[in-house]
Structure 1
Amino acid sequence: MKFLEVNSLEVINTALSWETSECILTGRVEAYSCKSAGTDKKLFKTLEQRYNTLAPGSISPDDIQIVSPFGRLTESTPRKTFFYLLATLNAAFPDNDFENVRPDQFIKMPSIEMVMNSVNTTLFNLGNDVVVNQLWDVLDEIVQLNECDVYTYNPDADDDPMNDEDGYLWSVNYFFFNRKLKRMIFFSIKSER
């Protein structure tokens, strides 16, 4: 994944770090181009080997569909989506390795409106309504939000890269993936004491 320098995201990222009387909140929004770098190619090859070797008779297609929000992992397009999400995590958290993350740790969100509403509510309730409108305008310029599939990553507690410090309370993250543009936005907020 290639990190994209987007000047308008710097203002948003600055506004996504603030304190309330109860916690410290840190957010970030990063844009990526889905162009594979050296380590990405190794990850892609590993995933291809892992999911291409599933013998058609060893697991039913319905079982694969159930464990993957991307579709059947025996098919190329769902595997690529899974790969892009893992590669984005690796780029966003370079000190971690997400090669062994399971597909069922991701959830495909039903609609962009639901995600926007959830983020807006979180920001408003935590006293940061300044950034809301600008956030969606900037993201729309980068990835055309209505053309995106949105995913969230729900790691096991031990695998959560945001749960790396004492005082961790919660975190949310979303991946806005525009397949046609081959772009990904990673959005996250974490709360600490």
Structure 2
Amino acid sequence: MKLLENSSFEAINSQLTVETGDVHIIGRIESYSCKMAGDDKHMFKQFCQEGQPHVLEALSPPQTTGISPSRLSKSQSGDEEGPLSDKCSRKTLFYLIATLNESFRPDYDFSAAKSHEFSREPSLNWV
């Protein structure tokens, strides 16, 4: 993954910077290529040694507190629609980790993150 310079984002980025009193918030929109290069290729090869890229991995249940008991009981009884049965492919998990690494480098490294450390929330309003 590589940061792509995009001059058309500069006007938008200037509007995303807010200063009020002693608070200074810098917002940015950035674009990245999805083609693996260099470190990403190496990390993907290591990631694939742990399992095939298309194998599904279980995610943690949603972190929201408003899930109804009936929905939880459905998922515990084996119903695949419940929140405890969320899965994603290892390749999707890799892309998520690579995006987090690129976004927060050099301060944070998510390379060792496992699928159970992520969850799929039921809606954007819950996040």
Answer yes or no: same fold by TM over 0.5: yes
Structure 1 residue 99: Cα displacement? 0.7
Report the CA distance shift for 1:98/1:65 in structure 2 as closer, same or farther (over 3 A).
closer
Looking at structure 2, the residues matched to 49 and 43 of structure 1 have their Cα atoms a distance apart, in angstroms, of 10
Report the CA distance shift for 1:19/1:92 in structure 2 as closer, same or farther (over 3 A).
same
Q: Is the 8 A contact 2:18 2:25 kept in 1?
A: yes
CA RMSD, 1 decimal? 3.1
Q: Secondary structure at the match of 1:24?
A: strand
| Structure 1, 7-16 or 100-109: larger mean CA deviation | 100-109
The residue correspondences of 1:41-190 to structure 2 (distance < 5 A) are: 41-52=41-52, 64-67=57-60, 71-72=87-88, 78-95=89-106, 96-110=108-122, 114=124
TM-score by length of 1: 0.42
Deviations, residues 24-56 of structure 1 (Å, cap 9, x unaligned): 22222211121001100111112112234xxxx
Looking at structure 2, the residues matched to 43 and 68 of structure 1 have their Cα atoms a distance apart, in angstroms, of 27
Q: Which residue of 2 aligns with 1:14?
A: 14
Aligned length: 100
When Rg is computed on C-alpha atoms for both structures, the one with the higher figure is 2
One-letter code aligned to 1:26: I
TM-score by length of 2: 0.59
Q: Does 1:3 align with 2:14?
A: no
Structure 1 residue 106: Cα displacement? 3.4
Structure 1 residue ranges (4+ consecutive) displaced by more than 3 angstroms after TM superposition = 66-70, 104-111
Q: Secondary structure at the match of 2:35?
A: coil
| Structure 1, 25-34 or 92-101: larger mean CA deviation | 92-101
Q: Secondary structure at the match of 2:26?
A: strand
Looking at structure 1, the residues matched to 61 and 50 of structure 2 have their Cα atoms a distance apart, in angstroms, of 14
One-letter code aligned to 2:115: P
Looking at structure 2, the residues matched to 25 and 99 of structure 1 have their Cα atoms a distance apart, in angstroms, of 28
Structure 1 residue 66: Cα displacement? 3.8
Structure 1 residues not aligned, in runs of 5+ = 53-60, 73-77, 119-151, 153-193
Q: Secondary structure at the match of 1:37?
A: coil
Structure holding more strand per residue: 1
Q: Which residue of 1 aligns with 2:66?
A: none
Q: Which residue of 1 aligns with 2:81?
A: none
Q: Is the 8 A contact 1:68 1:103 kept in 2?
A: no
